Structure formats: structure tokens, C-alpha cells
Amino acid sequence: MPVAEAEKRTFEPEVAHLDGKVAIITGGTTGIGRATALLLSRRGVRVVVYGRHQQELDDTLHDLGEAGGQFHGLIADNAYEDQILNVFAETRRVFGDPGILINNAALPAQSVLDTPYDDILYILRVNVLGYLTCMREAIRIMRSNGGGHIVNVGSMSAKVRETGSDVYVATKAAIEGMSESLRKDLGQEGIRISLVEPGMVGTNLHGEPPDVEGQRRMEAEGQMLEAEDLAQAIYCILTQPPRSNVYEMRIGPVKQAI
């Protein structure tokens, strides 16, 4: 095609359609996972969410019902392999093979100097082994279907490495490493692995935040992201054309200096 003719073409963004796909969202009953489940459900994705607490699950399922999509929810803990396996079995029973995994369930952690050994083990089981186990199960299914997309939600802590949070930093650095290594391994098989590393987000890992008004003020002033901002970022990653993959996305509030 002549250059002049090519220049006349109107660029139309190519967006992959997610309608009818099946997504498992770990930690899908609160924060980023919940916001992502609601957004994907509104876009026609059949979503499976799970978390550890019944009330949070009930609230999320109620909101998913109001959104009008197809959904399923379970109580499960990412620290236990048998519970993860049950989530994947239930997903296949209810909706069929998942083509999307949003790996999001994680626990907060502070310093090894202040954290009991058993607590560290549990955090590692959720934040590291849970991610690996979910990816293993998703990859086995995606391989048999010729492709799929895994989005791992990490944290800028993997790079910033703030003081006083070394256990948390270690788990997020592990997520960064496993994401890159498996992405390189699996790209030729049509399996995309993307990593999202958010900065400060107004989502709650510790229970109800003590200063809700202060958090909302920080969000309004651009000092803190909302969970919905991350959901939108994940949706953007998932809707890339099949030939492309977002390897890593770092997203933070405009006023957070990193």
C-alpha cells in the first residue's frame, strides 16, 4: 500500500472481547479483587470469586447479582492446596474451563523482627505458594485449550523495598520473579502472564480501616488509588489484542513520590 494511502487510514483501537469467558479471581470478595469481579461481570465475563469470610462473600455476591452477570462464589483459603483445587474443580463444574486467572489474594506483613515464625509461614503460604498453586492449576487448563491470561497483582514494594515491611517486600519480590520467569516459559504456548504493581491503594488488608474519612480524602487528593482504578487497569490488560501482552504495569497515585 502506498505511504500516502496508508496515512489516510483511520486508526481504530483493537480490543479483545471478554464476553462469555470464565475468570477466577482470588481474594475476590474485597478490595481490588472485588472491584475487578464487578467490572468484569459487567463486561460479560463469568466470574468465580472466593475469600475467607462468609459475610464478605455474601456482600460481593449480592452486588454481583445487582450487576446482572453470571457468577459463582466460594469460601476458600489460598494457604491450603486442597481448597484451591476445589475452587478450580467447582469453576469447571459450574462454568467450564477458566481462561482468565486474577491472582490477587494476599495478606499484609511487617518486619521479620516483629512477626512470629508461624505467622510468617502462613503469610508465605498465602502470598507466595497460593499464587504459585493457582498459576499451576490455571496453566494446566490453559495449555490444554491453547492459551489463556494470568494477571498477578503484586506491589511496588517489590522495587521500592520500604523499611519495616521486609516480609511483605519478600513476598512481592517473589511474585515479580515468578511472573517474569513463567511469562518467558509460556508465551510460545499462547499463555499470557501480566504483572500489575500498584502503589498506595485505598483497599483494606487489615479489616475496616481506622480512618475511613482520611482514606477517602487521600483518594480525592490524588495521594491514594481506589480499588476501581486497579480494576480498570486489569481490564485494560485483559483486552489487549491476542498478539500482545502487557508484561508489567506499575500504577500509582499521581502524588505518591516513588
Domain chopping of the chain, boundaries: 18-251
Measured CA distances, 78 to 13, 215, 217, 243, 253 (Å): 37, 28, 32, 31, 29
- pLDDT tens-digit series, residues 56-102: 999 999 999 998 899 999 999 999 999 999 999 999 999 999 999 99
For the question of residue 117 being annotated catalytic, the response is no
Angle at 256 between CA 198 and CA 164, to 5 degrees: 75
Out of 50, 117, 168, 247, which one is annotated catalytic?
Answer: 168
CATH 3.40.50.720 at 18-251, yes or no:
yes
Instruction: Please give the average per-residue pLDDT across 180-206, as a whole number.
Output: 88
Prediction pTM value: 0.89
Residue whose C-alpha is closest to residue 100's, from 64, 56, 145, 55? 145
To the nearest 10 degrees (0 to 180), the angle between helices 130-145 and 166-186 is 10
| Cβ contact 247:195 at 8 Å | yes
Residues 225-258 have pLDDT tens digits of 999 999 999 999 999 999 999 999 999 988 876 7
Give per-residue pLDDT as tens, 171-180. Answer: 999 999 999 9
Beta carbons of 26 and 105 less than 8 angstroms apart:
yes
